[in-house]
Amino acid sequence: MIVAERKPLEQISSMIESNNKILIVGCGECVTVCSAGRKKEVEILASALNMVRSKEGKPVEIRQETLERQCDGEYLEQLRGFIGEYEVVISMACGAGVQFMAEKYKNSLVLPALNTKFIGVTEEQGVWSERCHACGDCKLHLTGGVCPIARCSKSLLNGPCGGSANGKCEISPDLVCGWQLIIERLSDLGQLEKYEEIIPINNWSTNRDGGPRKVVREDLRL
């Protein structure tokens, strides 16, 4: 899933300083799973902003909505009837949702309430961590199912670097060295000989470096 985290309240409230009619929109997909932009977080943000503004003596009118998801036009359509009544829309979706809403409603000012962090997993309840950089050319078959690009702090394809100590990364004692994980995994799978194959210099053109990306499936198009 895409993992996100709410922005500091002060940043959000300063974005809407001069507005009095606000629509807050949550998203029922990834940010619901990572508890950043569910219906519940929409309620909490609305209540918090209400209090901030009441405290300043500038009460604000807030409407709350939570869509199935914000990265699909058909769900965004559900706002069509009333979005125009609000001076601003605060989206509690990932960066994709915020932008797509802005694309669909050209006359509305759409603001982000979340910082979109990464593609990751739920390690345990309340703990999420990164697994994928969306590099566009998966290499997990070469590295025992552990991604060197996402899990190594330097994205080394032939690691570990000299900073790996006691299985931890040089940048933090709390961070496991990605290459330690790769080696353990290759060893468990009886594939340690794979470690000695040099992975050639990467083609980053499938990554963001190649420009904004797009996937087209002609067979599915209408």
Partner 1 sequence: MKSESKLEQILTKGEFAVTSECGPPRGADAEVIRKKGELLKGFVDGVNVTDNQTSVVRMSSISSCVILKGLGLNPIMQMVTRDRNRIAIQSDILGAAALGINNILCLTGDHQKFGDHASAKNVFDMDSIQLVQTVKLMRDEGKFLGGEELKGSPKMFIGAAENPFADPFEIRVPRLAKKVAAGVDFIQTQCIYNLPKFEKWMKLVRDRGLHERVHILGGVTPFKSVGMANYMKKSVPGMDVPDELIERMKAAPKEKKAEEGINICIETIQRLREIEGIHGVHVMAIEWEEMVSEIVKRAGLFPRPHIEG
Partner 2 sequence: MRLNYPSNVKIIKVPCTGKVDVIHLLQAFERGADGVYIAGCLEGDCHFLRGNLRARKRVEYTKRLLDEIGIGGERLQMYNMSAAQGPRFAEVAREMTERIMTLGPNPIRAKKGEAEMETG
Q: Which residues bind partner 1 (CB under 8 A)?
A: 153-167, 170-171, 177, 180, 183-184, 187, 192, 195-196, 198, 200-202, 204
Q: Which one, 70 or 180, has the nearer CB to partner 1?
A: 180
* Rounded Cα–Cα distance for residues 93 and 188 (Å): 39
Q: Is 205 in the site for partner 2 (CB under 8 A)?
A: no
Q: Taking CB under 8 A as the criterion, which residues in 135-194 touch partner 2?
A: none
Q: Is 15 in the site for partner 2 (CB under 8 A)?
A: no
Among the listed residues 19, 20, 50, 206, the single contact to partner 2 using CB under 8 A:
50
Strand, helix or coil for residue 37: coil
Q: Is 14 in the site for partner 2 (CB under 8 A)?
A: no
Select from 142, 75, 86 the least CA-distant residue to 109.
86
* Rounded Cα–Cα distance for residues 179 and 156 (Å): 9
Q: Please, what is the minimum distance in Å from the beta carbon of residue 54 to partner 2?
A: 4
* Rounded Cα–Cα distance for residues 105 and 141 (Å): 42
Q: Which one, 43 or 87, has the nearer CB to partner 2?
A: 43
Q: What are phi and psi of 214, to 5 degrees?
A: -150, 145
* Rounded Cα–Cα distance for residues 162 and 154 (Å): 12
Q: Please, what is the minimum distance in Å from the beta carbon of residue 52 to partner 2?
A: 5
The one of partner 1, partner 2, none whose footprint includes residue 47, by CB under 5 to 8 A per kind, is partner 2
Binding segment (CB under 8 A) for partner 2, from list 5-13, 75-83, 110-118, 142-150? 5-13
Binding segment (CB under 8 A) for partner 2, from list 6-14, 77-85, 159-167, 174-182? 6-14
* Rounded Cα–Cα distance for residues 143 and 183 (Å): 8
Q: Please, what is the minimum distance in Å from the beta carbon of residue 58 to partner 2?
A: 9
Say if residues 42 and 64 touch (Cβ distance below 8 Å).
yes
The one of partner 2, partner 1, none whose footprint includes residue 32, by CB under 5 to 8 A per kind, is none
* Rounded Cα–Cα distance for residues 37 and 58 (Å): 25
Q: Which one, 10 or 174, has the nearer CB to partner 2?
A: 10
* Rounded Cα–Cα distance for residues 102 and 81 (Å): 16
Q: Taking CB under 8 A as the criterion, which residues in 73-132 touch partner 2?
A: none
Tokens of 48: 């918090």
Q: Environment class of residue 84 by beta-carbon count within 10 Å: exposed (0-12), middle (13-18) or buried (19+)?
A: exposed
Among the listed residues 1, 15, 33, 48, the single contact to partner 2 using CB under 8 A:
48
Select from 24, 54, 51, 59 the least CA-distant residue to 40.
24
Binding site for partner 2 (CB under 8 A): 8-10, 40, 43-44, 47-48, 50-52, 54-57
